[in-house]
Every structure is written in C-alpha cells, then in structure tokens.
Amino acid sequence: MRKIYLLILALALFFSSCEKDDICDANTATTPRLVIQFYDFANPSVLKNVTNLKVVGAGMTDGIIFNPTATGDSKYLTNGNTVSIPLKTNDITASYTFTLNSGNSNPALINVDNIQFDYTKKDIFVSRACGFKTIFTLNPTNPYKHTIAADKWIKYISVEKSNIENENETHIKIFF
C-alpha cells in the first residue's frame, strides 16, 4: 500500500510540473514600424521610386538594414516607393537622415535630408509568450520636424495616419 501511495505522489508531482509551452506565434502582431511612401512632387498622385536610399538613425553609424541578404553597404540601401522604419520604444522622438543616391561616385548627386518624428507611445500586453508591443501616435500638432530647402530633395511631407498600430497602411507620404 505504501508503494502505491509513493507511486501516486510521484505521478502527481510529475504531471503538476507540466505546463503549456509558451511560444509566440510568428503571425502575432508586434511593434509596428512607420510606413513611408514616396510620391512625385510634380504629379502628387503618382508613386515615385527612390534610388539607393539610405536611412540612418540619429547617433547611429550604420543604416537601417533593408536588404539582409546583401553584403557591405548595399544592405542599407533600398530602391522602391515604400520603406518601413522603426520608431524608438524608449523615447518620444526619432530622428533620421535620409540619403538619396547614397554611395554614388558623383558627390553632387548625393542628397541628404533630416526628419525628426514626434509621437506618444503606449505599451500593450500581447500575451505571456510574446510580451508587450508598443503602438505610437504621431503628435497631432507637430508630427515631424523638417526644413524645406532648395538644396534638399524632400519637398513636402504629408501625414496620412497618425495612429501607428500596424504596417498594413501608409502613415507618411513624402513628395520629392
């Protein structure tokens, strides 16, 4: 009888230590990035591709990696009409340098512009396995700081969506 009690106790301890695996599903929404689309300034309804765009955060030496399979500086370059960039989850501003034609052998064709995004942030609990995600809201009165100048390539910036809750929509339009 004593052995049966010990066996039952051992089984009870064994099963009480089992718990559900906490694995965050790859399809679970995480902290969204800011989605920017580029448009032709002369024809505002037409998307326009950037050429060798490099985006570098303030205080950083390397750019945002747009092409992880590339090597050298080409992994920081993108060509297309849409980019997604991260915002800081531990601050309420994020400053970036946008370099058009980065790495061009002709320095006259390289054009640099700076934008600072101002926002509020809110941490939302997703699950025990995934933790928290942060959603952002661009400042309604001053969502960005950018100086329009004749020698800069960005001519106009438009905020399309102030709430940055997912990456399925355009948040900012840049005209050049």
Taking the C-alpha atoms of residue 104 and residue 65, their distance in angstroms, rounded to an integer, is 18
Beta pairing class for 34-39 and 82-85 = antiparallel
Instruction: Give tens-digit pLDDT for 53-69.
Output: 999 999 998 999 999 99
Its CATH class, for the domain covering 29-175, is: mainly beta
What residue ranges do the domains of the chain occupy? 29-175
**Per-residue confidence band for 129, with pLDDT thresholds at 50, 70 and 90:** confident
| pLDDT tens digit sequence for 31-56 | 999 999 999 999 999 999 999 999 99
Confidence of residue 92 (pLDDT cuts 50, 70, 90): very high
pLDDT for the residue 110: 92
Mean pLDDT in residue range 142-164: 91
| More confidently predicted of 75 and 28 | 75
